[in-house]
Chain A
Amino acid sequence: MNESEQGLDFSTVIASTVHDMKNSLTLLMQAQAQWLARLPEPERNTSEQGVIDFEFAHLNGMLVQLLGLYKLGANQLPLRPDYHELDDFIEAQLASHQDVFKSRGIAASYDVDPLSPLGFFDRELIASVLANSINNAIRYARHALLISVHDEAGQTVLTINDDGDGYPQQMIERQDDYVQGINHSSGSTGLGLYFAGRIAELHQRNGIRGRTRISNGGPLGGGVFSLYLP
C-alpha cells in the first residue's frame, strides 16, 4: 500500500497555527482585561481601549473565518446541526462583544419570537457568521445594533441591523457576485459575505438551501444583514 510518509499537510499547519494564534490572543486579551481592571476608572474608557477591544474581536473573527474558508475549500468543514435556544445563542454572541459595545457606546439589543424559541443549525458555524456580521455592524453603527429573529414561511431568519449609513448601493446590487466568490474587491466585507453564504448553503431542508441577504433600512435605518436558515 502507498504508505510513504507524506509531508505536513496544509490543513494541519493552518489548524495548529490558528490554534496557537488564538491561544496567544486569549492570553493577550486576558492580560489586557486584568491590567485594565487595575487602572483608575477614568483611564479605562479611552478611545484607544475601544480600538483595542474592537481589533481583538476583529482579529479573532478573521482567524475563525480563515480556518473556516480553508476547510470549506478542502471539504473539511464539519456540519453538526442541532436544536438551539435562539435567545441563548444570540445573547452569547452579544456577550462576547460586550466590551466593544461598551467602549464604542453602542446599545446592542435582540428580539426573539417567544413562540418559536428554538432554531435548527450548526451552532459553531452560524456563530462564526454572526460574530463577523456583528463586527461589521459595529464598524458602521453609530449608537445602536439590533439582532432580531423571526419565522418566515418555516425558515428562521436572523437579521443584524445597525444605524449606520448602510451598504453601498453597488454592493447590494451585486451581492450575489460576492456570495458566489466572483468579486472579492471590497476586502473583508466581501469575503465575509462569501463565507456567510457558503455556511448558510450548508444548511438544507427538503431541498431548500440557506442563504444570506444584505439590504438597507430596517428598524434602525442602517445596514441589514439577513441569514435565512430553512
Chain B
Amino acid sequence: MLAYHQKSFLIVDDFSDFRSSVRSMLRELGVKDVDTADTGEQALRMCAQKRYDFILQDYHLGDGKKNGQQVLEDLMTDKLISHESVFLMVTAESSQAMVLSALEHEPDAYLTKPFNRSGLAQRLERLQQRKNLLKPILEALDHGKPVEVLNACIALCKQDPRYSPLCLRYRADALRDMNQNEALERLYNTILADRPLPWAYVGLGRLLFKRGQVGQAKEVYEKALKLFPMMPALYDGLAEVLVVEGDAKRAQHVLEEAVRLSPLAVRRQALLGKLAMGNEDFETASKAYRQAVSQGAQSRFKDPESNLGLAHALISKGSEKGLDTRTRLEINSTLSAVAKENPADPGLQIRARLMKATSLLLNDAETAEKLTEQAMLRLDGMEQFMSPEAALLVAKQLQMLGQASAGASMLKNCAEIYGDDPKVMQGIAKLTDDPTILNTSNAAADLNRQGVRSYKAGTLGEARDLFRRALAMQPKNISIALNMAQSLLHGADASADPALLEECRASLKMVGLMPDSDPRYPRYQKLRSKAFGE
C-alpha cells in the first residue's frame, strides 16, 4: 500500500466541485497534504515553492488559459518537477489530449473522467510502483546525467529483463543527449523492427535529419505517417525535410495538416506563417500568425516575430486595395505590443515602426513619414546585427518609404555580415542591382574558402593568414570571424601568445552582435567560452 499520509498532492482544476470531490477522495485514502490550484499559472507558482509527489492536472482549464499540456511543458522545462513525481493528466476525453500532446513532454498517465475512488487509488498505487521500479533511472534524469541513465537502464534490464521495453525510451533519449548517433540509430532500428513505436519513428527521423541524411529521414516520416496519420510530430518532421529540399509548397501543406490535427501549438503556427509567407499565401500566413500571437500570450514560446509576421502578412494581403479599418486596427495592436514589450531591443523597435509606416503608406502618409524618421534615427545608432530575413525586409521597406540610400546601406551591411551565404545574396539581388553591393563580398568569401581548405589540410599559419585578410575586408562577416577565432584557438600557441588571444577575442567581440537565432550562435558561444575562459 502507498503511504498516502506521507505524500503531497496538488490538484489543478478550474471546477471547484471537481477539486473538492477529488480532495475528499484523497482524504478518504488517508492523504493529509493536499493543495489545490485553479489555473496553470497558480500551479506553476506552487510547484516553484514546494515539491509535490503527485500532481493531478486537468487538461482543459478554460479558453484563453494555459492548458494542462502547457503546464506540463513549463514544469519540465523549468525543472519545477522531479522525474520521480507522478504527473497525471485528467481529461474527459484522452485520445484528443494525446494528439495534442508534445512527444517530448508526456504525462506519466492519463486519467479519464469520470473516475471513482478505487479507480484513482489503483492508478496512484501502480504509478508509484512503477516510479519505484525505475527509481535509479529517474534519479539520474533529475541529475541530468545521461551516462548514469544508460547504466541504470542496463542494470534494470539485467535484473528483470521482462521490463526492458519500459526502458527503451530512456535509453534512446540518453544516447541522443550523449550524441551517440550510431548506437542510437541501431537502437531505433531494433525497436522498430520489433514494434512500430511512434516516438521511435520520430526520433529516427530527427536523427537522420540532424546528420544530413535528409532523403532517408523523409522515407522514415512517410512510412510512419501511413501507420500513424494522427501524429503531428511526424508532419513537423516531414515539413522540415521538405523545406531543406526546397519544396516549400508541399512543406506548407504538410504543416497545415499538422495544424488541423493539433492547432494549439505556437511554434507550429509561427512556422506555418513563415512558410506561407514565403509561398505568398498571405491568407494562410495571416491566419497562422494570428494564432501564433494569440496562443503565444499564455505560452513560453511567445515570439515578437509572429506579431511582425502577422502585420507583414496583413499588409501584403491588401496591398492593391489599401487596408480596411479592421485590418489597420489589428496591425496597430499587434505592432504596439512588440514596441511595448521589447523596449530594450533596438532591432524590434525599428522593425515595428517601419512595418507600421508601410501599412500607413497609402492612408496616412504623414504618420508614415514620422515613423520612418524615428526608425532611421534608431537605425543610425544600432550596433546589433539583424537576422538576414529581417534586414532584407527592413531594406525593402526603407526603399518603399522613399529612403533609398538608407535601404542601400542596410543591404551593404547585410552583404558584409552574411555575404558568404548565396541565399542571402540572392535576396539582396532582388532588391538592388548595384554592383558595389553585389560584388563586395566576393573577394573576402573567396579568401575565406581558401582559408577553410588550408585549415583542413592542417597548414594553420596559412589558414590564419587567409582568414586575417578576409576579415580585414569584411570585419562583420560572421563566418569569417568565427573561422578566424577557431583557427587562432586551434594551435598550441594560442595560450602562450597573448597577442593571438587578443586578436581572437577582438574578432569574436565584433560578431557577438549577431542575433541569437542565428544557427551559428551555439558555435560562437563555444568559441567565446574558450577564448574568454568563462
Residues on A facing B (Cβ under 8 Å): 1, 3, 15, 18-19, 22-23, 25-27, 29-31, 33-34, 37, 56, 60, 64, 67, 71, 75-83, 85, 88, 91-92, 95-96, 98-99, 115-118, 120, 123-125, 127, 205
Beyond the given A23-B113, A92-B126, A95-B118, could you list 7 further A-B residue pairs with CB under 8 A, ordered by the A residue number?
A: A19-B92, A23-B15, A27-B15, A78-B99, A79-B227, A92-B119, A96-B116
B110 within 8 Å of A by Cβ? yes
Interchain nearest-CB distance for A208 vs B (Å): 13
CB of A26 within 8 A of CB of B18, answer yes
Q: List 18 A-B contacts (CB under 8 A).
A: A1-B281, A1-B284, A18-B93, A30-B114, A31-B21, A37-B28, A67-B93, A78-B228, A81-B197, A83-B166, A88-B126, A92-B119, A95-B118, A96-B116, A98-B119, A99-B116, A116-B162, A118-B165
Contacts of B195 in A (CB 8 A): 81, 83, 120, 205
**In the complex, A24 Cα to B268 Cα: how many Å?**
33
CB of B114 within 8 A of CB of A29, answer yes
Contacts of B130 in A (CB 8 A): 85, 88
**In the complex, A81 Cα to B59 Cα: how many Å?**
21
Would you list the 7 A-B pairs with minimal beta carbon distance, nearest first?
Answer: A78-B230, A26-B114, A95-B122, A98-B118, A30-B21, A96-B119, A83-B165
Contacts of A98 in B (CB 8 A): 116, 118-119
Answer whether A22 and B283 are a contact pair too, CB < 8 Å, given A80-B98, A96-B116, A116-B162. Answer: no
* Overall SS of chain B's interface: helix
Contacts of B475 in A (CB 8 A): none
CB of B116 within 8 A of CB of A33, answer yes
**In the complex, A76 Cα to B227 Cα: how many Å?**
13
Contacts of A82 in B (CB 8 A): 197
Which of A34, A76, A82 has the largest count of B CB atoms less than 10 A from its CB? A82
**In the complex, A229 Cα to B130 Cα: how many Å?**
24
CB of A29 within 8 A of CB of B116, answer yes
Interchain nearest-CB distance for B101 vs A (Å): 9
Which of A18, A26, A98, A123 has the largest count of B CB atoms less than 10 A from its CB? A26
**In the complex, A30 Cα to B110 Cα: how many Å?**
19
Contacts of B113 in A (CB 8 A): 22-23, 25-26
CB of B119 within 8 A of CB of A78, answer no
**In the complex, A107 Cα to B17 Cα: how many Å?**
32
Q: Number of residues in B with C-beta < 8 Å to the partner?
A: 46
CB of B99 within 8 A of CB of A118, answer no
Interchain nearest-CB distance for B240 vs A (Å): 21
Contacts of B96 in A (CB 8 A): 15
> Could you mark each residue 421-455 of chain B with 1 if its beta carbon is under 8 Å from any beta carbon of chain A, else 0?
00000000000000000000000000000000000
* Overall SS of chain A's interface: helix
CB of A92 within 8 A of CB of B95, answer no
Interchain nearest-CB distance for B98 vs A (Å): 6
CB of B283 within 8 A of CB of A78, answer no
Contacts of A71 in B (CB 8 A): 95
Interchain nearest-CB distance for B4 vs A (Å): 16
B336 within 8 Å of A by Cβ? no
Interchain nearest-CB distance for B102 vs A (Å): 13
- A88 to chain B: closest residue by CB: B126
**In the complex, A30 Cα to B16 Cα: how many Å?**
12
Answer whether A22 and B92 are a contact pair too, CB < 8 Å, given A33-B117, A79-B228, A98-B116. Answer: yes
CB of B115 within 8 A of CB of A96, answer yes
Contacts of A19 in B (CB 8 A): 60, 92-93
- B96 to chain A: closest residue by CB: A15
Contacts of A127 in B (CB 8 A): 112
**In the complex, A60 Cα to B115 Cα: how many Å?**
10
Identify A124's interface contact among B98, B115, B197, B227, CB under 8 A: B98
B302 within 8 Å of A by Cβ? no
- A114 to chain B: closest residue by CB: B162
B24 within 8 Å of A by Cβ? yes
CB of A78 within 8 A of CB of B93, answer no
CB of A125 within 8 A of CB of B118, answer no
CB of A124 within 8 A of CB of B94, answer yes
B131 within 8 Å of A by Cβ? no
Contacts of B163 in A (CB 8 A): 117-118
Interchain nearest-CB distance for A13 vs B (Å): 13
B198 within 8 Å of A by Cβ? yes
Answer whether A81 and B196 are a contact pair too, CB < 8 Å, given A3-B287, A19-B93. Answer: yes
Answer whether A99 and B118 are a contact pair too, CB < 8 Å, given A26-B18, A27-B18, A80-B198. Answer: yes
Interchain nearest-CB distance for A135 vs B (Å): 14
Contacts of A67 in B (CB 8 A): 93
CB of A95 within 8 A of CB of B119, answer yes
